[in-house]
Structure 1
Amino acid sequence: MTTEVTTILLLRHAAHDALDQVLCGRDSGICLSQSGRRQAQSLAERLAEESLQAIYSSPVERARETAGIIAGRLGLPVAIDDGLTEIDFGDWAGRSFTALRDDPLWARWNAERAVTRAPAGETMAEVQRRVVAAIGRIRDAHPQGRVALVSHGDVIKAALMSCLSMPLDAYTRFEIAPGSMSSVVLWPGGGKVLTMNEVAA
């Protein structure tokens, strides 16, 4: 293995009040709840042990807020990377999961994630391509570093499934919880997953 190994810590943003109720997508005004801020603070304490070189974040507010709490503890700036942003859910954004339940396209999206497009939005394959490209750029910028990326649950799943060569329809086989950390190591031409869904105490 080459000595140019980069450790990437994939962090899901912490909890907010609309969690599991509304498909927030990229909507603005979705901020961390009190419990979410505590999650982010616990994550920041955990990451204080990691000697990070940089923190990158999705541009979505809840991710930026999580990254800001971590950055404040570690004394690092936050760089925004659009490749880490939430899935573009198009016409579904802002709708409750109860309202989506009887939509046949929503059912297909959840059953056949590899081939289904959110209405006026993205496919999961498009999401995977952009997040993998973003991670590649970040790895190239930190060829022997440790870097934290704050993103979103299914976006992180897409990155991990790429590293594991798993089909996109397998996204339900593992969990990425709010405020969790997964880690991968990458080198030119390869990489591997080290941890998944670690939640700070």
Structure 2
Amino acid sequence: MLSPENRSAVLSGTTCLHLVRHGAHGDVGRRLSGRAEAGGLSLIGSGQATRAAIALGRLDAVHASPRRRTLETASIIAAQHGLTVEEADALDEIDFGAWNGASFDALADDPAWRAWNSNRATAPTPGGETMVQAVRRAVAHLEGLVRQGAGRQGNIACVTHCDIIRGVVAHYMGLSLDNILCFDVDPGSITTLRFAPGETRVTRINMVPA
């Protein structure tokens, strides 16, 4: 028999969106891959994706950013659940403009890069998009998924990128985007949002499956 809490969730059509950061690849920690061409998952990254696939439990759909690293991660997750991956441009990495593909060593002396990391709510990228724009498109996609499943329970994995996940969490927790570097989102981690009528809850952040 369902508990009162679970029975209420069924009747209200709770939707859980699991934001999964792609697994590790060769550029992690070395350069700002952004939307530049980047290699696929490393062996470590493939293992992270496999563990995430198991930890996620039952899924109804898998959506992913169009980057190679996210699509490979999503494919591993989808295969575990007998699903196909649905590409979503709205889950894409931030467009960093001229910074796409730059090494972190090269960026370290750039005053504009330092300003970006101190003032995410207002600082621009060189010819790319702002943090506000990136979060707005991602949130619009997530809320569209919730509307599509209105009145039904659902569990959807959205494979995307570190700062997109941070920005979405900040949005739903009412935090300034200037504070998104205060918490981690590791490769292969799972962050979960629970949508129910009248409320949205962040139920876990940066859960890294063992």
Q: Report TM bin, short chain.
A: over 0.9
Residue deviations 1:31-82 (CA, integer Å, cap 9, x gap): 10111011111111212xx221111001111000000011111111111111
**Cα distance in 2 between the residues matched to 1:178 and 1:20:** 11
Shift of 1:148: 0.6
Pair 1:130 & 2:143 matched? no
Q: Equivalent residues in 2 for 1:2-151 (5 A)?
A: 3-47=12-56, 50-143=57-150, 144-151=153-160
**TM-score scaled to structure 1, two decimals?**
0.95
Equivalences, count: 199
Q: Percent identity?
A: 40
The residue type equivalent to 1:98 in the other structure is D
Pair 1:196 & 2:188 matched? no
Residue deviations 1:122-156 (CA, integer Å, cap 9, x gap): 11001111111010111112232111100000000
Provide the residue aligned with 2:5 in structure 1.
none
The residue type equivalent to 1:77 in the other structure is T
The residue type equivalent to 2:66 in the other structure is P
The residue type equivalent to 2:43 in the other structure is Q
Q: CA RMSD in A?
A: 1.3
CA contact (8 A) 1:24 1:30 kept: no
**Cα distance in 2 between the residues matched to 1:10 and 1:102:** 32
**Cα distance in 1 between the residues matched to 2:39 and 2:165:** 19
Which ranges in structure 2 are unaligned for 5 or more consecutive residues? 1-7
SS at match of 1:26: coil
CA contact (8 A) 2:12 2:197 kept: no
Shift of 1:188: 4.4
Pair 1:162 & 2:171 matched? yes
Moved over 4 A (4+): none
SS at match of 1:146: strand
**Cα distance in 1 between the residues matched to 2:149 and 2:22:** 22
Between structure 1 and structure 2, the one with the greater Rg is 2
Which ranges in structure 1 are unaligned for 5 or more consecutive residues? none
